[in-house]
Amino acid sequence: MRSLRALWHNLRHRDRVEQQLDDELRATLDLLIDEKVAAGVEPREARRRAIMELGGIEPVKERIRDARMGVRIESLLHDVKYALRHFRRSPGFAISAVLTLAIGIGANAAMVSIVNALLFKRLPVPDPDGLVSLVSVDDRGRERYFPYAAADAFLENGPFKNLCGYNGGGVSTIEAGGVPSIALYAFVSGSCFDVFGVSPIIGRAIVAEDAPWERAGNKVALISHRFWTRVFNADPAIVGKTFRVETIELSVIGVMPEGFGGLHIDTAVDFFVPPDTIFPAPKERRPVATQLVGRLRDGVTFEQAAVQLEAMWPQVKAATTGDPSKASEGAALYGTTTRLDRMGTGISSTLRRQYGSAFRMMAALTALLLVLMCVNVGGLLLTRLSARSNELAVRLAIGGSRQRVAQQMLVEGLVLSIAGTALAIPLAFGLIAPITAFMPQNRIARTIELTPDASILALMAVIGVIVGVLITALPVWLALRRQVSSPLIWDRTVAPATNWWARSLLIAQVAVSVVILIGASLLVRSLYLLQQVDTGVQAANVVDVDLLPLPRGRFATPAERTANVLPYYTGMLERIAALPGVESVGMSQAFPRQTLPPSTPVSFVGQPDSDIIASADSVSPGFFETMGVPLIAGRFFTWADSSPTARVCIVSESLARKLEPNGDVLQRHIRYGTLRDRQDMVIVGVVGNMTLGNLRHEQPPIAFVPPQSNGVNFSAPNILIKTTRSMEWIARAVRGILADGGREYAREIITVEELFARSPASERMTATLAGMMGFLAILIAVIGIHGVLAYSVSRRTREIGVRVAVGANPATVARSVIREAAVLTLIGLVIGVPVAFAASQSLRSLLYGISETDTITFAAAAMFFLLVGVIAGVLPAKRAANVDPVIALRGD
């Protein structure tokens, strides 16, 4: 209490306190003099001795101040004021330093927010890290499933406190109030919501009675807050309302709290249903869960549980799946083992896989950029330190403690970094939206939250302080290290120590910049190559219509579907072809949205399995003509090929070459995969190589089949329309035709060109961001080189003046400056290029068509940097050449 009052007093009445301090010490001095005079010393000598005994009034005052309450705060305020005054005097430096730091900190905060949301955010359930998931894995590492009944068996003697079956990631069209839309669902067994520990905000959860093992579950749905808002306009009387999925009518029993979307972190579930509700399983099979989710008993460690479950699985499998020799799920699970996963961050269906590594890489590059920026600002502060060496020397000489000088420099750095952080906050918020806009809006709406939250802001503050300390670390250290003995002669004409450090920092900047530049160049070139890929199709003026079925449009039986599907599509294509301005029209199942790599083996009938792997697509007559794919041999499809007896196929040239490198494949019989109707197909044509949608797979081997072959039909195909009319006009016309059909709707209508352009989305994102960072890195390096050399020239004005005066050629002087720029850059390159070489290994998975150690890229980046370094030295060199010896030598 007392000390607080003293603190207040000291701060509040600073002037009075100072005055009294002065009075007290002067009085003491007078007393001392009196004492000595009284002892018989002559007055002037007495005064001298008194001052010596006291040890100087100012140093004593300084020590008293240090002992007093609030000395820290007081001196801190003083330092902040001093720093601000200082920066006001050189606004150019202050503004560029603050901006640099703001960009660095803001970009890092944005990246950390995204990486956090994508990779590390916990599920919104109580104790998310207590959730574990059990999956079965076959001998090829593929994830299989569990019978729901296995949950009970594992629960009985296993390490679980609770356990339920979960089967997420389903996507289907739903219809509520006559409006179709896409929704995601998950099957849950009865105890899942006890496991999660989350209760509905309206109505009730799915319970055991809704999801019995022995029969299909009740036709009820527990919906998410998002679905409730989107589809039902947050209707408070929602319980009992219905919506359709496929042919099933589901009745809503409750609404989950906002933010809860099941276990998938990026594709939130819209509704939960009991197993076996929407798609009834065949008679001989019981419903299965892709994973069992639960919480471990208290005291059981994750590792113990994993071992115990592995040991339990054979018994549980035998008890719940039946005879493994029969074609049952027992056979499918034969040879499987179990794997226990931690579920704290949930499951990610695509985003994490697709963008996780890209964002990690971007985050690493951004962090590197921040380091570069710190080095840059630190170097500039250092050069300014030597410019201020006189001021500092005077301060030390009149009794300022070295700690105080260091503290003051630290405060200067912190003032810069805090200003930078303050600017970085709006920047970070602003950057997140454009960065995430690179992620495509898939069929499934993104549900990940990407706004910076309190923890990110706290992290930014921490980064800010660390940056502040980093940028001043070297100046502070140098100030503390300095010899007291030589303060005043320190650095009048040259400052070897500071110069040496400034040059080292400069070299470090060049090294870091070149690492960033090389990484960026690799990614940009990779994107360029990806965009230059020959798609093999004429995408210009072709519109793609992505069809999805309406629930009410389904046929009741497969037989009805087989009989009706072909007339439905032929009729539709005829009507579209008859539209004015339509040149041709065709349909395809996979093209142009296929993203999976070829994965199915193809062999000649009657020959052993080959190791040729191909993709497949079903395409209608007119498809190849519409897409401008050339016929190389044989013929295109006709509608007659879709008869139940015809078994024909067309292969791409790349598949033909693989099957028969030199010969003819026409009229040969091939089998494709394991589907029954594809075990014997006659090749009737060979077409040019083309992409199915993923540009990373160049000229994939493809087997094309007709839209209907042996009972397998188009489902949710694409219509491709080559037209001279505008896309909007075509879209309206096609939607009208679809509405008349009443069975499907267009999820998206887009030109094929646009679709291809947005295909390398993650590549475009990394290339754009990395390109921006590369540009910033170069800019910073140029500022750094220019700053250090310009400073060095201005310090050497006298020396240069002397040299010119005694006959040196100004051009020689200028050349020496440029040479210095070149040498410094070169040393930076010698360090940076090998580092880039090592670091680029981590880029390998992100690159396309270019090696991560591509010599041309490395050489070009290094040459470019050398050029940039020399150019950065030109201005200082000019200034050095223009030094007028008369003026230079007149100084001081």
Pick from 47, 48, 49, 68: which binds other proteins (CB under 8 A)? 68
- The conformation of residue 254, written as its DSSP 8-state character, comes to E
| Cα distances (Å, whole numbers) of residue 119 to 113, 123, 350 | 10, 11, 12
The least CB distance from residue 29 to other proteins, in Å, is 9
What is the helix (H) or strand (E) element at residue 136, kind and residue range?
A: strand 131-137
Pick from 67, 179, 237, 806: which binds other proteins (CB under 8 A)? 67
The least CB distance from residue 884 to other proteins, in Å, is 51
Cβ count within 10 A of residue 720: 25
Considering the complex, state which of residue 57 and residue 332 has its C-beta at the smaller distance from other proteins: 57
Single out the segment in contact with other proteins by CB under 8 A; choices: 65-73, 228-236, 545-553, 591-599. Answer: 65-73
Cα separation, 674 vs 218, in Å, equals 35
Considering the complex, state which of residue 20 and residue 595 has its C-beta at the smaller distance from other proteins: 20
Considering the complex, state which of residue 60 and residue 473 has its C-beta at the smaller distance from other proteins: 60
Enumerate residues 6+ apart whose C-beta is below 8 A from 132. 293, 294, 295, 296, 302, 305, 340, 341, 342, 343
Longest C-alpha distance within the chain, in Å?
135
The separation between CA 173 and the C-alpha centre of its own chain, rounded to angstroms, equals 30
The separation between CA 522 and the C-alpha centre of its own chain, rounded to angstroms, equals 18
Exposure letters 168-189 (e unless 16+ CB within 10 A, then b): bbbebbbbbeeebbebbbbbbb
If binding means CB under 8 A, how many residues of this protein chain bind other proteins?
A: 25
H-state helical runs in 388-495:
389-397, 402-436, 454-481
Considering the complex, state which of residue 19 and residue 315 has its C-beta at the smaller distance from other proteins: 19
Considering the complex, state which of residue 69 and residue 808 has its C-beta at the smaller distance from other proteins: 69
Cα separation, 230 vs 343, in Å, equals 28
Single out the segment in contact with other proteins by CB under 8 A; choices: 62-70, 298-306, 759-767, 833-841. Answer: 62-70
Pick from 63, 78, 297, 732: which binds other proteins (CB under 8 A)? 63
Residue 222: φ, ψ to 5°: -105, 120
Considering the complex, state which of residue 3 and residue 674 has its C-beta at the smaller distance from other proteins: 3
Single out the segment in contact with other proteins by CB under 8 A; choices: 64-72, 125-133, 318-326, 802-810. Answer: 64-72
The least CB distance from residue 481 to other proteins, in Å, is 25
Token pair, residue 693, equals: 């949608």
Pick from 11, 41, 69, 750: which binds other proteins (CB under 8 A)? 69
The least CB distance from residue 98 to other proteins, in Å, is 39
Token pair, residue 691, equals: 């992409």
Q: Which of residues 417-436 bind other proteins (CB under 8 A)?
A: none
Considering the complex, state which of residue 32 and residue 150 has its C-beta at the smaller distance from other proteins: 32
Q: Counting contacts by CB under 8 A, is residue 453 touching other proteins?
A: no
The least CB distance from residue 799 to other proteins, in Å, is 43
The least CB distance from residue 54 to other proteins, in Å, is 5
Pick from 11, 41, 60, 577: which binds other proteins (CB under 8 A)? 60
Q: Which of residues 20-59 bind other proteins (CB under 8 A)?
A: 20, 23-25, 27-28, 30-32, 34-35, 53-55, 59
Residue closest to 150 by CA, chosen among 333, 283, 280? 333
- The conformation of residue 424, written as its DSSP 8-state character, comes to H
Considering the complex, state which of residue 61 and residue 446 has its C-beta at the smaller distance from other proteins: 61
Considering the complex, state which of residue 46 and residue 223 has its C-beta at the smaller distance from other proteins: 46
**Residue 628 β-bridge partners:** none
Cα separation, 828 vs 821, in Å, equals 11
Considering the complex, state which of residue 64 and residue 856 has its C-beta at the smaller distance from other proteins: 64
Single out the segment in contact with other proteins by CB under 8 A; choices: 63-71, 358-366, 552-560, 873-881. Answer: 63-71
Q: Which amino acid is at 163?
A: L
Single out the segment in contact with other proteins by CB under 8 A; choices: 16-24, 289-297, 582-590, 681-689. Answer: 16-24
The least CB distance from residue 69 to other proteins, in Å, is 5
The least CB distance from residue 808 to other proteins, in Å, is 54
Residue 837: φ, ψ to 5°: -60, -45
Q: What share of the chain is helix, strand, coil (3-state, %, to 5)?
A: 55, 15, 30
The least CB distance from residue 26 to other proteins, in Å, is 10
Q: Counting contacts by CB under 8 A, is residue 64 touching other proteins?
A: yes
Pick from 6, 450, 469, 633: which binds other proteins (CB under 8 A)? 6
Cα separation, 868 vs 416, in Å, equals 28
Considering the complex, state which of residue 5 and residue 635 has its C-beta at the smaller distance from other proteins: 5
SS3 287: coil
| Cα distances (Å, whole numbers) of residue 574 to 129, 579, 621, 706, 745 | 57, 9, 12, 17, 18
Cα separation, 114 vs 655, in Å, equals 41
Residue 61: φ, ψ to 5°: -60, -45
The least CB distance from residue 76 to other proteins, in Å, is 19
Considering the complex, state which of residue 28 and residue 643 has its C-beta at the smaller distance from other proteins: 28
Considering the complex, state which of residue 13 and residue 63 has its C-beta at the smaller distance from other proteins: 63
Single out the segment in contact with other proteins by CB under 8 A; choices: 66-74, 362-370, 553-561, 573-581. Answer: 66-74
The least CB distance from residue 78 to other proteins, in Å, is 19
Token pair, residue 135, equals: 């999956």
Considering the complex, state which of residue 3 and residue 667 has its C-beta at the smaller distance from other proteins: 3
Q: Which of residues 846-875 bind other proteins (CB under 8 A)?
A: none
Q: What is the bridge-based pairing of β-strands 648-652 and 542-549?
A: unpaired
Task: Using CB atoms within 10 Å of the CB of residue 221, give its burial: 0 to 12 exposed, 13 to 18 middle, 19+ buried.
Answer: buried
Single out the segment in contact with other proteins by CB under 8 A; choices: 17-25, 262-270, 766-774, 880-888. Answer: 17-25
Radius of gyration of the chain (CA): 38
Token pair, residue 874, equals: 């030109």
> Under a CB-based contact definition with an 8 Å cutoff, are residues 707 and 718 in contact?
no
Pick from 18, 58, 66, 129: which binds other proteins (CB under 8 A)? 66
Q: Which of residues 699-738 bind other proteins (CB under 8 A)?
A: none
Dihedral of CA atoms 397, 402, 408, 412 in degrees, nearest 10, equals 100
Q: Which of residues 624-683 bind other proteins (CB under 8 A)?
A: none
The least CB distance from residue 46 to other proteins, in Å, is 14
The least CB distance from residue 64 to other proteins, in Å, is 5
Enumerate residues 6+ apart whose C-beta is below 8 A from 79. 407, 408, 411, 412
Considering the complex, state which of residue 21 and residue 835 has its C-beta at the smaller distance from other proteins: 21
Considering the complex, state which of residue 72 and residue 732 has its C-beta at the smaller distance from other proteins: 72
Task: Using CB atoms within 10 Å of the CB of residue 350, give its burial: 0 to 12 exposed, 13 to 18 middle, 19+ buried.
Answer: middle
The least CB distance from residue 28 to other proteins, in Å, is 5
The least CB distance from residue 879 to other proteins, in Å, is 49
Q: Counting contacts by CB under 8 A, is residue 3 touching other proteins?
A: yes
The least CB distance from residue 27 to other proteins, in Å, is 5
Considering the complex, state which of residue 6 and residue 465 has its C-beta at the smaller distance from other proteins: 6
Considering the complex, state which of residue 64 and residue 433 has its C-beta at the smaller distance from other proteins: 64
What is the helix (H) or strand (E) element at residue 561, kind and residue range?
A: helix 558-577
The least CB distance from residue 15 to other proteins, in Å, is 17
The separation between CA 786 and the C-alpha centre of its own chain, rounded to angstroms, equals 33
Task: Using CB atoms within 10 Å of the CB of residue 541, give its burial: 0 to 12 exposed, 13 to 18 middle, 19+ buried.
Answer: middle
The least CB distance from residue 486 to other proteins, in Å, is 24
Residue closest to 338 by CA, chosen among 371, 369, 305? 305
* Footprint on this chain of other proteins (rule: CB under 8 A): 2-3, 6, 20, 23-25, 27-28, 30-32, 34-35, 53-55, 59-60, 63-64, 66-69
